[in-house]
Each structure stands twice: as structure tokens, then as C-alpha cells.
Amino acid sequence: MTTDRKKREEEALKSKRQPLWPEKELPDWRELLSAPSEKAEEIMQSLSLREQLALILQAPWEVRERLIVFSPQAERLVKALPPQEFFWTIKAVSPEEAVTLLSMATPLQLQFLFDLDCWRKDQLVLERALAWLTLLFEASEDVVARWLKQVDFEFLVTLMKRLVEVYKRPDGVDLTEARDWLPPYTLDDMYFVNFRLDKFEPLSRRLIEILMEFDQPRYRDLMESIIWELPAEMEELAYRWRRARLADWGIPDYYEAIDVYAPTTPDHLRRIEPAYLPAPEEEETPPPAFLPAIQTEGVEFLAEAISRLKDYRQIERLKRELAWLVNKVLVVDIGTIDDVEEARQVFDKVAGYLNIGLEYLAHGQVEAAVKILETYFLEDIFRLAQKLIVDLRRYANEILTQEGIDSRIFRHLDEPYASYLKGVTAKDANRIMLFQPEKVGTAEEFRFFRRLEEIDRVRRVLSEIAYWAPLIQKAFGIPPVWLAELALKKTNLLEPADIKWSTLVLTSLGNWITERKFRFEALPQEKWPEVISRLLGKHPGSGRSVVKEKIKEETFENFKKLAREIAPVEEDHLKSFLDLCFFRAEEEFAFADEKNIPDPRYVQCMLIELREA
């Protein structure tokens, strides 16, 4: 087993992600991966083809090839994969594993790969098409031949026009004479080919030769079309056919999909008509081709509601709707799909938004959520969640543009306030994200919202920012006043971005405990030892240095007085931010006291004026 495969399997086994529609009576795919090969093959052989397919669709894309090869019906199993699931599986596995699967694919699955992955809006992306063709050749030339027989002719012409130029020997011109001015490569002494891309000449040659061998009429039509057809017209026709095929698989174009982000309200949700429900299917009928094998985590409310659905027709309806919804969001959010992780984030986003919409409509009651799933379209539930999230951005923008507040003060927000604000003020409504303080510095620092509680949490943070902004401005003035301390004095902080709201509060607190003047002004270096000794005391349990309780209480009371001059006092908001300020000081000065004075040059939470040595 290769290192990459082993790593992917280990990550899959550790993952907590679960399918939204688990088949509980089937073996766990984790058990098959962990079992000896003989045992895994025996288990797969005991299952019907339908059961094997359901098992494969429940597993993560990255490990499917390994599971498939356990089956004695591996080729039938690959051919039974819905084209979209085949596409994501190919995308997620290694090139070697992809070649194995491609060798067993149907022409329809192969066409889907090119339709979905080789276009950027209405333009063919040649590099992607060549990458797929290279893999097809590695699978076998028989696979290439199957693809050539079924591929859309306009697509083939558009592709080959990028790869070759074709010249036809005029009637009546002697072959020997024609060879003097025509390209040297020809298969029939009638059409002469010049290769545009030296690197891909061998590939282009074999495409033409295979087509000539298997389908001479199609070969001649291709040569004539390369000579006479206009590239733009052929590309437009190829794009139209591509759109039609993708629409048959529930994948809309961008302009049809964009309405998925139109916010809605509870009183505008569309109700399901009973006639819309699909008819029952036979027991041995394979799962629908649009079955979305979506694995996610953190959406327990949605998963619990789905698990309680009993009506087969409702379940099938929801699967179809979920696939359509996911495809819409994929088209809008990603466009050209080339990253499995991006796609996984979209799947998580859809599940998360549905979880939020259900929580909001059902008020946290699972049975009510089941009724909602049976009554309303999933897309409307998604759009309701979108409205709740967009409302966060609207609220944030109102805060940033409120009258009487210099907007520059928000550039000096402390963390995590600044990142919470950044996450919800994304330019595009479909890019609004939740900041996760515990994941700072990782790829998961920002992610899409999944729960209603997360929206409420961010709204509380925004409310705190809105409350403190006028207090900061009234107490300390506007940013040019603060930054003058950096410009006119030699201080420990060097950049404007180093001055945070907490810096204003703590520096002013240092002036207050030494001079009884609460103002933002760089602390004189000679006063620094006095600041430390008066500010800090020892925590009786840990022995660490902490801000004295009396100072905390007096600071809180002083800000209460200031707040009364502006608006009603919100003690929770006052305490929350002041606690953050004190926390910054206690983290930096945890081991400082009158005997261990921190070097003022390296202090971060207060502004200190340094004296010349």
C-alpha cells in the first residue's frame, strides 16, 4: 500500500464525518478497510450489487477505489456509480487509482468528466481536457476508443482545433507534388495534419489514428470540420450540448443557480404538493443517479430529523432536492470544479445551512423539524438560513457606518472581535464565514455556519462591538490622536496596527493608577516599575500575577459612568470587553511583580515611552 493511500485511509478512519442517509443494516466501510483482504472480499461477495453500491456511496471518496476492488463485481459496481459520484471519486483518489476506475467506466461517465471539469463558464479549458485524455490513455486505448465513439462531436471538433491544423490535398494535385508544401503527417494521403502543440503531438496522433481505425466516417467528418468550421461557432454548440446534458443530471448553469442565494422569510416558504412526491420504486432498482453521498459533521439536528423520516416517497424527494441544491451551490461557489476540499466545504455548507434553517423554524424541536422537512422545499430552508446569515453582515455594516463614529477605529479592534467582524463582512453574500478562535492558524480558522447558536454568538459579538465603539471614541478620541503618540515619541510599539482598543484601556489604566488621570498617553519609562507593582497582585491558588480585583472593579465602575452619558448601561457588554483587556495584561505579565519588572521594550499590551540609553 502506498504512503499516500495509507495516509488517506487513516484520515478517513479517524474522521467523524457521517452520511446524512446511513444504511444501518450494511457493514461499516471502516470494518472492511481494517479487515484482512480475504475477509473484506468475503463480506463484499455476500452483498447484492445494490447493497455494495449503497456501501460504496456511504464511504468517503478517497477510499472508494480500495472498497470497489474488494468486490467480485468491481466493473459492474463502477458502471453503476452515478456519474457525479464517479467524478468526485476520480477527483479524490490518486492517479494510479483513477486509472483503475477509468478502465471500467462507461462512456456516459467519461463524458460527464469532460462536461463538468473542462469548462470555465462557456470556454473550453484545454489543459483540463488534455489531463483527462492523458489518464484515459494510461487506462488503455480501448477506453479512449469508447470515449471517441460517444463523445459529443462539437466538443471533439473544438478540442482538436486547438491541437491540430488540417489541410486537404486538392483534387487533381499529384501526391508527390502535394508533399512538397503540405505537412508530412497523413493517414490517407487526403488529409494532412500539422500539430500545434509539440508536447502533445503523440497524444494528438493517437487520437486521430484510433478514430480512423474504429470509425472512418467520423474521422472524415472531423477532418472536414477542423478545416471549415468556425471555432467560435463550434465551441458555442459544444457548450449548449454540455449545458443540456448537465441539466439532465440536475446541474444548472450559473445564471439558473444564482437564485439559491436569494434570501427568504418563513412566511414565503413554498409548500410541497403531494403530486410532486415520486412514486415508490421496486426493491431491486438501483439508487437514483442523483443520490447525494454527502458526508458531514456538526449538523446533528438535521441528521436526527432525517433519521426519523418514515415515508419512502418523502425520503426520495429530499434526496433529489438535496442533490439539486448542492449542485446549485457548487456552480455558484466554485464554478470550475478542481478541488475536492472546496467541494467538501460546499457540501458542509449546504448541510449546515439546512441545519440552521430547521433549528430556526422548529425552535429546536425535532418532531417539528420532521414535519417541516415533509412540508417545505429544502432550497427554501437553505435560503431562510442565508437570510439569517446575511442579516449578520447587514448588522455589521450598520456598525461600521454608524453616524458619529470614525470608521478608522475599527481597524484597531482586538482579537477575536476583529476576525469575527472580518468573517461576516465578506464582499460576497455566499462567502460569509464563522471565525473559530480555537482554530487560529489552521485551514479551519474560518468556516461556514452550521448551527443557529453560532449566528447568535456572532450577533452578541457584533452587539458588543457596536456598544463599545462610541465608548472608545468618547474616552480616547479618534485614531489620529492615538497614533500621534507613536509619531511624536519613541515607544515600544512601532506600527499603528499595534494599538488595539485594549491598548487604549490598559495604557490609560496605567496612567490612572500612577497619576489618577485616565488618558491615553504613553507611559513614561521611569513610571513603569510603579505601574507593575500597583497593577498586579498574586493569585492565591496559582501564584501567577493577576490584575488586582479593586482595580478591575474601579475600572468597571468608571466605564459605567461613561456609558450612562451615551446610552443605557449594558453591564454584560462592559464586563466582557474589560475582562478581555485584563486577560491580555494577565497573560503577558503572568510572572511579573515588583521584583521582576518586564523589559518595557518588549511589552505588547501597553504603550510606553522609552528613554534614550
- Pull the grid cell for residue 575: 464586563
Give the length of the chain.
613
- Give the angle subtended at the CA of 157 by the CAs of 156 and 163, to the nearest 5°: 90
280 pLDDT above the threshold of 70: no
275 pLDDT above the threshold of 90: no
Q: Confidence band (pLDDT; 50, 70, 90) for 283?
A: very low
Mean pLDDT confidence for 198-224: 96
Amino acid at 545: S
Q: Say which residues have a Cβ less than 8 Å from residue 323's Cβ, sequence separation at least 6.
A: 84, 250, 290, 291, 292
Q: Which residues pair with 434 in a beta bridge?
A: 447
Q: Confidence band (pLDDT; 50, 70, 90) for 613?
A: low
- Phi, psi at 192, each rounded to 5°: -115, 135
pLDDT at 291: 42
pLDDT at 8: 66
pLDDT at 290: 41
Q: If you write DSSP's letter for every residue of 238-281 in order, what string do you get?
A: HHHHHHHHHHHTT---HHHHGGGG----GGGPPBPPGGGSPPP-
Q: Which segment of 105-114, 329-338, 418-427 scores lowest on mean pLDDT?
A: 329-338
Strand pairing class (608-609; 523-524): parallel
Q: Confidence band (pLDDT; 50, 70, 90) for 466?
A: very high
Spell out the domain ranges in the chain: 252-276+290-464, 478-609
pLDDT at 336: 65
Mean pLDDT confidence for 167-183: 88
Percent of the chain with pLDDT over 90: 74
Mean pLDDT confidence for 221-241: 96
Collapsing DSSP to helix, strand or coil, 446 comes out as: strand
pTM for this prediction: 0.86
Cα separation, 550 vs 535, whole angstroms: 10
Q: What is the mean pLDDT of the chain?
A: 91
Q: Which segment of 165-179, 412-426, 583-597 scores lowest on mean pLDDT?
A: 165-179
- Pull the grid cell for residue 320: 433529489
Q: Which segment of 20-34, 297-311, 443-457 scores lowest on mean pLDDT?
A: 20-34
Q: ω into residue 470 within 30 of 0, thus cis?
A: no
- Sheet of 185-186, strands arranged across: 164-168, 191-195, 185-186
Q: Confidence band (pLDDT; 50, 70, 90) for 338?
A: low
Q: Confidence band (pLDDT; 50, 70, 90) for 287?
A: very low
pLDDT at 278: 65
